[in-house]
Amino acid sequence: MQGNLTAGSFGLMCLSVTLMAIAQVLQKLGLGSVNLIADSMPGTLINIICAMFRPKVLVGLFLYVISAFLWILVLSKVRLSVAYPMLSISYFLVVILAGTVLKERVNWKLAGLGLFFISAGVSFIGFGLGQGH
């Protein structure tokens, strides 16, 4: 069965996850403080469609598409049980970008602790992958 993690597949994973995190930030920047919720469902849908055509939101959506294509390549080479936990890297990137680029208030002590526990959990998954039953 395919699934061994190589330097190339690891690089594809990291690139895909990084593009996904950047896409999140661009979409947030593109939306600004706009309220998409209207008094009616059709109004809300119209607001969302209009927001999708803002330049930064469009670039973010484009990066999501590129990220998805890269992820498909990753899944063709790596076992899902190896690849999927690697998505947790996006948590680090999004928290760091939210605090630095978006200037959101981040409690770095709590965020750091939470990210540490996420890393520990993913590490346990990774360590267990080599164990056969």
Q: What is the four-CA torsion angle of 63, 65, 68, 72, rounded to 10 degrees?
A: -130
- Predicted pLDDT at 127: 67
Place of tokens 């992820």: 71
Tens digit of pLDDT at every position of the chain (133 positions): 456 678 898 899 999 999 999 999 999 999 988 888 888 889 889 989 999 999 999 999 999 999 999 999 999 998 888 888 888 888 889 999 999 999 999 999 999 999 899 888 887 776 666 555 4
Q: Is 60 helix (H, G, I), strand (E, B) or coil?
A: helix
Instruction: Count CB atoms within 10 A of the CB of residue 17.
Output: 23
Q: What is the pTM of this model?
A: 0.83
> In 1-133, at which residue ranges do the beta strands (DSSP E only) sit?
none
